[in-house]
Amino acid sequence: MSMSKIVESDSPEEFIAEIEKIQNSLPEKIDANPGNVEKGLAKLVLTLIDLIRQLLEKQGMRRMESDSLSEDEIEKLGETFMKLENKMKELKEILGLKDENLNLNLGPLGNLM
């Protein structure tokens, strides 16, 4: 994913305002505490898993609505998504995370989910 953005302006004030907007969305410092590394990595992994799960559920719904899945396939999909949801709840509880924590701030692009 490229975050390059072209800022064209004849006004130095507009250019500075755009740079400040981008700069204000970045953290002032990075918390490189070794104690937080495991939790941060787990948060990232669970966020990505949740994003993929949401995409797969949407694809499954589209396929169901287009009648391209058999009853058996629909049953298997439902069971799989329920198991995944239960495992995600279990992992979030173990790690002390909530649904709100599973998101990524992409700076000027906003939140991932």
User: Tens digit of pLDDT for each residue in 12-62?
Assistant: 787 777 777 776 666 666 666 777 777 788 888 888 888 888 888 899 999
pTM check: above 0.75: no
What is the domain partition of the chain in residue ranges? 38-99
Q: What are phi and psi of 65, to 5 degrees?
A: -65, -25
Quick one: CA torsion of 54, 55, 56, 61, rounded to 10 degrees?
Answer: 90
